[in-house]
Chain A
């Protein structure tokens, strides 16, 4: 187990290196630069800027410099947000996104698995069809429609909850963004759970359990749930990494200072260091979560050993 973990972590190093190299050169290939604007700068001002950010050096030298800084944990200064380093931006944005995304994933897991199991037990009956219809709606209504709808109803008309802002991390400020983030996840998790639960419930060991006279509740909770969760867990790894790194749509609609906006704005502004920073950060998270999923597998499925 320990050996396996070490192997996995060492194997992540070349993956990360390829990711960094690809991202570094791809963003440089994109036309336009961080200082392009409708106010075209005079040559000497632009030269000063290029020098200040080492953009006047040959690309391979910049790459070597970037890798060197990265090894020291330095993501460099942001080109766009001049007063902050990329590390600071990530470290202030991530806790907010983690909190929103983490809550959303917990909610999605609880509601999604519950609804999926419920539907599986009532396969092809009205309850099943209604749960699946609702979850289909959850998948097909995009965030940028659902989020303003939630705000209109609960903040503007009913005035129960704030329309935006972090409110110092108050729970009432989190409710709407968490729901908006969780809805599509609930839908996916419910559909995945239903599918695999139906399959598991038809398998021999469940039939045996039934034959032993166990109640449905015991069978589901003690025997069926764990194997049924396998596909959900493999979905959860990358999904969690994606959700806890924020969503630009949710952040801009709710005015929440998370990490998601930097993926989009960094790329649009050609903020090279910021793009690199979030890509590397996201890459590391994905690797960690996939690793955790594999460990979870060993626990859920006795066929899997390391």
Chain B
């Protein structure tokens, strides 16, 4: 065949030099790609972990940290509670039981707590757990440079507030090691719920030597020394966290499951699929869309229980139209058909909320708004009367705005409430949804906020965790509610050492607050999990705490 001197021919036969250079280039590129490729293979999951004796738990999100002083989300709490243990802890049913301390006594005036630590308690590296480790923990928690989120919860300890504000040295904190296994905590004022605060990771001890050698980044595999039932074996961010039984734990003999893996399962449907494919033993959640079918097909595996968490709408009380208008707020709350919302929209067993404090707390009877038991007709009639008394009418309707963070469920509820208000009272409501951080920033700024969606999850099993939210000095009090009577009742309750008296004072406070209606409780959340039949020992509880050490796997 004759050679055809055409362009495409030249293009195929480049100069020899250029060809060699190109080969070298592509070789270098290929080898770089291969190296990266291989580095991604043979990851830690190929190790000894992940055997049939492993519990696989869905964990809704990637924990932000496993440093007990940086833990704040539910996902991080779930892992932190398996890794560490405070002076007191929870049993399978969520009751308060001795943890690292085997016993304690409280002084007559409620100011001095004396803890006897278990002599058998050890760190995961075999070091004995001493009172000094707790002292180190509390001091670090309150040291300003630690910048711990939960420091505020332990401000009742004498000296804590000043240390957190940087006015005093951390070693002046009134937490003292009287002996190796004797710890004394002195409070600035009596705090009836103090023991329950000690279950939080914020009150865990700290292993001084590993913190000293690794600094702030000590909560990593190979570095973290923990005192709970498990130790940290591996952590691949966004993939899994692998825990292995801590053989030095004081109750290791009764810790049945050898290994626990937590998976961040952000997408609920994906989590369900992994459960159905047999990859997860426990899910963190159950998607609403699959719920009715699961109720029929997997009723025995579906665990739904009231959760210590309230979904509510708050009013901005710092400006009109809701400032100084409790009757108007009551009217708006009255016409919300909460049963319809939980039966038609949330549909996963949530309970309509007529109280601020959710049910399920031992010894506490949640107070209800007076209209809880009224018929719908009576509610609407009364709401119309209050609405008219506040100066509104069909000709002069209330114009307001509901703001919520972007989420399909929030949107549906807001639309339903908008139409309930319109039908019963003629209120003209506009709905505004924004991304969560914008929503929070706007609540904080207050200026354009009128009615906003929010929720609150209890930190510990005591009504105080909800009640304190609406005190006038609390920065987390998003409504701006300030009632001196309410604050006084809470102060009085906190200073009461008699538990039943304390709880009845809190009940009284809740009633006072509900009459003012700074917030409209909408519903009580439920915890919802799928739990495989091979998992034994699962007990529903209001806090939704399920320490892996209380669970077991059937053969």
A residues bordering B, Cβ < 8 Å?
1, 30-33, 35-45, 48-49, 51-52, 80-84, 89, 92-93, 95-96, 98-99, 102, 148, 151-152, 155-156, 159, 162-169, 205, 208, 212, 222-223, 226-227, 251-258, 261, 268-270, 299-302
Are A32 and B437 neighbours in the complex by a CB distance under 8 Å? Answer: yes
Give min CB distance, A144 to chain B, whole Å: 9
Partner of A41, one of B165, B220, B438, B475: B475
Chain A residues near B4 (CB-CB < 8 A): 208, 212
Contact with A along B143-180 (1 / 0, CB 8 A): 01111110110000000000011100000000000000
Contacts A44-B164, A166-B43 aside, 19 further interface pairs with beta carbons under 8 A come to: A36-B441, A38-B454, A51-B147, A80-B64, A81-B62, A82-B67, A92-B236, A95-B40, A155-B277, A168-B45, A169-B43, A205-B8, A208-B4, A251-B238, A253-B267, A255-B265, A268-B435, A300-B11, A301-B11
Question: Could you say which of B11, B274, B276 contacts A255, with CB atoms under 8 Å apart?
Answer: B274
Say yes or no: B40 contacts A45, CB within 8 Å: no
B217 within 8 A of A: yes
B436 contacts across to A, CB distance below 8 A = 32, 268
- Residues of chain A contacted by B148 (CB below 8 angstroms): 45
Most chain A CB within 10 A, of B37, B267, B456, is at B267
- A148:B149 contact, CB within 8 angstroms: no
Output the least CB separation between A24 and chain B (Å). 17
> Would you mind naming 5 contact pairs between A and B with Cβ atoms under 8 Å apart?
A31-B437, A168-B47, A169-B41, A205-B8, A208-B4
- Interface positions, chain B 214-238, Cβ under 8 Å from A, are 216-217, 219-220, 236-238
Interface pair B145/A48, CB less than 8 Å apart: yes
In the complex, what distance in Å separates the CA atom of A120 from the CA atom of B153?
Answer: 69
Residue of A nearest to B457 (CB): A38
CB <8 Å contact, B33 and A252: no
- Whether the Cβ atoms of A164 and B274 lie closer than 8 Å is yes
Instruction: Kindly state the separation between the CA atoms of A269 and B41 in the bound complex, as whole angstroms.
Output: 30
Residues on the A chain within 8 Å of B12, using CB? 222, 226
Q: Do the beta carbons of B441 and A168 come within 8 Å of each other?
A: no
Chain B residues 110 to 159 lying within 8 A of chain A, measured CB to CB, are 144-149, 151-152
Give the A-binding residues of B (Cβ under 8 A).
1, 4, 6-8, 10-12, 14, 18, 22, 33, 36-37, 39-47, 62, 64-67, 70, 72, 144-149, 151-152, 164-166, 216-217, 219-220, 236-240, 263-267, 269-270, 273-274, 276-277, 279, 435-438, 440-442, 444, 454-456, 475-478
The residue that B237 contacts in the complex, of A39, A41, A93, A163, with Cβ under 8 A, is: A93
Is the pair A96, B40 in contact by a Cβ cutoff of 8 Å? yes
| Inter-subunit contact B455/A148 (CB<8 Å) | no
- Give CA–CA (A81, B237) in the complex, Å: 9
**Do residues A166 and B236 form an inter-chain contact, with CB atoms below 8 A?**
yes
Which of chain A's residues have a CB closer than 8 A to the CB of B37? 95, 98-99, 102
Q: Which residues of A contact B475 (CB under 8 A)?
A: 40-43
Nearest chain B CB to A145's CB is how many angstroms away? Answer: 11
- Given A39-B149, A93-B237, A222-B12, also A164-B273 (CB < 8 A): yes
User: Is there contact, CB below 8 Å, between B147 and A163?
Assistant: no
The closest CB in chain A to the CB of B161 belongs to A44
Expressed in whole angstroms, the Cα–Cα distance for A300 and B4 within the complex equals 19
**Closest B residue, CB atoms, query A261:** B238
Chain B residues, CB < 8 A from A84: 217, 237
Q: Across the interface, which residues of B come within 8 angstroms of A155, CB to CB? A: 273, 277
List 9 tightest A-B contacts by C-beta distance, closest first: A32-B437, A168-B45, A168-B46, A163-B277, A257-B238, A95-B40, A257-B239, A32-B441, A169-B41
Asked whether, in the complex, the Cβ of A169 is within 8 Å of the Cβ of B147, the reply is no
A165-B240 contact given A31-B437, A99-B40, A255-B270, CB 8 Å threshold: yes
Give the complex CA separation of A159 and B436 in angstroms.
38
CB distance from B263 to the nearest CB of A (A): 6
When the two chains form the complex, which single residue of B43, B276, B444, B454 contacts A168, counting CB atoms closer than 8 Å? B43
Q: Which residue of B lies closest to A222 (CB)?
A: B12
- Rounded to whole Å, the gap between the CB of A261 and the closest CB of chain B is 6
Cα A1 to Cα B436 in complex, Å, equals 50
Q: How far is the CA of A269 from the CA of B454 in the complex (A)?
A: 17
- By a CB distance below 8 angstroms, the chain B residues around A268 are 435-437
